[in-house]
Structure 1
Amino acid sequence: MNWRHLCLATIAAMSALGTATAGEQFTDKNGIANFGYDVVAYHTTFQPTEGTNQYTANYNGATFWFASAENRDLFLGNPAAFAPAYDGHCAFALTSHKKLLVDPEAFSIVDPETGQQVDPSTYVPGEGILYLNYDPGVNQKFNKDLAANIAKADFAWIDCLENKPAAVPKKRFNDLFSGGRPNSCPAG
Structure 2
Amino acid sequence: MPIRQTLFGAIAALTLVSAAHAQDMPVYFESDGAVMAGFDPVSYFQGNAPVRGMPEYAVIWKGAEWHFASAENRDLFESNPRAYAPQFGGYCAYAMAQGLLKSTDPMLWDMVDGRLYLTHSPEVEKVWRGDRAEFIEMAEENWPVILYHD
Question: What's the TM-score once normalised by structure 2's chain length?
Answer: 0.80
Moved over 2 A (4+): 19-22
Asked if the contact 1:38–1:66 (Cα under 8 Å) also holds between the matched residues in 2, the reply is: yes
Instruction: Provide closer, same or farther for how the CA distance between residues 150 and 82 of structure 1 changes in structure 2, counting only shifts above 3 A.
Output: same
Higher-helix-fraction structure = 2
Q: What are the within-5 Å matches in structure 2 for residues 16-165 of structure 1?
A: 23-111=25-113, 128-158=114-144, 160-163=145-148
Asked if the contact 1:20–1:87 (Cα under 8 Å) also holds between the matched residues in 2, the reply is: no
Residue 51 of structure 1 aligns to which amino acid in structure 2?
G
- Give the paired residue count: 131
Residue 148 of structure 2 aligns to which amino acid in structure 1?
N
- What's the offset of the Cα at 1:20? 8.5
Matches of 1:34 and 1:96 in 2, distance apart?
A: 21
Matches of 2:38 and 2:148 in 1, distance apart?
A: 23
Unmatched 5+ stretches in structure 2: 1-18
Asked if the contact 1:105–1:136 (Cα under 8 Å) also holds between the matched residues in 2, the reply is: no
Instruction: Provide closer, same or farther for how the CA distance between residues 20 and 143 of structure 1 changes in structure 2, counting only shifts above 3 A.
Output: farther
- What's the offset of the Cα at 1:162? 2.2
**Cα deviation code 1:48-83 (max 9, x no counterpart):** 211110111111111100111111111011001001
Matches of 2:80 and 2:106 in 1, distance apart?
A: 21
Higher relative contact order (CA 8 A, sep 6+): 1
Most deviating of 51-60 and 135-144: 135-144
- What's the offset of the Cα at 1:94? 1.0
Asked if the contact 1:38–1:51 (Cα under 8 Å) also holds between the matched residues in 2, the reply is: yes
Matches of 1:146 and 1:75 in 2, distance apart?
A: 25
Other structure's SS at 2:34 match: coil
Matches of 2:116 and 2:142 in 1, distance apart?
A: 18
Which has the larger Rg? 2
Residue 126 of structure 2 aligns to which amino acid in structure 1?
Q
Instruction: Provide the residue aligned with 1:14 in structure 2.
Output: none
Question: What's the TM-score once normalised by structure 1's chain length?
Answer: 0.64
Matches of 2:141 and 2:24 in 1, distance apart?
A: 14
